[in-house]
Amino acid sequence: MSPFKIMTFNVKGSYYEDGENNWPLRANLNSDTINHFQPDLIGFQELQQGNIDHYAQTLNGYDYELGAETARENNSGSGYYCAIYWKTERFDKLDCGVFFLNETPDHYALDWGVT
C-alpha cells in the first residue's frame, strides 16, 4: 500500500455556546483545511450532529463510522461522537466496533477521573 495522509481534529462540537469560537464561525475553515490537504483518513473527536451535517455537505468522497454517542462530562446537553472518515477510493470498511478506556470497556462510564 502506498503512503497515506492522516489528519485529526477535536472539533469541540457544534452546539456549544462559545462566542467567537462557535461552530458556525469555524466550520468553513475546518472543512476548507481538510479539502486543501485531502487526507485519506480523518479522526474526529467531539462531533455533534451539526458537525456531521456540515461535513456531509462539504467533504466529498468520504465515508465514515461514528462511535457510540457519549454524554458530556456533566451529562447535560447533547452528547458527542468520535468518528473515523476515510476516502472511499482508497479504503473499504471491513469491520467496526467501539471500546471505552475505563473499567468496563464494553460499556460507557465516566471512570478514572475522566474530564
Residue 78 Cα distances to 47, 51, 81, 100, angstroms: 10, 13, 10, 19
What residues make up the domain containing 38?
Answer: 6-87
Residue 10: how many other CB atoms lie within 10 Å: 11
Evaluate whether residue 56 is within a structural domain: yes
Residue that is written with C-alpha cell 474526529 in the block: 44
Q: What is the pLDDT of residue 97?
A: 81
Evaluate whether residue 38 is within a structural domain: yes
CA distance 113 to 60: 38
Provide the grid cell at 106: 464494553
Q: What is the pLDDT of residue 114?
A: 61
Number of domains in the chain: 1
| Mean pLDDT over each residue of the chain, to the nearest integer | 87
Q: Which residue has the higher pLDDT, 16 or 49?
A: 49
Q: Would you place residue 29 in the very low, low, confident or very high pLDDT band (cuts 50, 70, 90)?
A: very high
Evaluate whether residue 48 is within a structural domain: yes
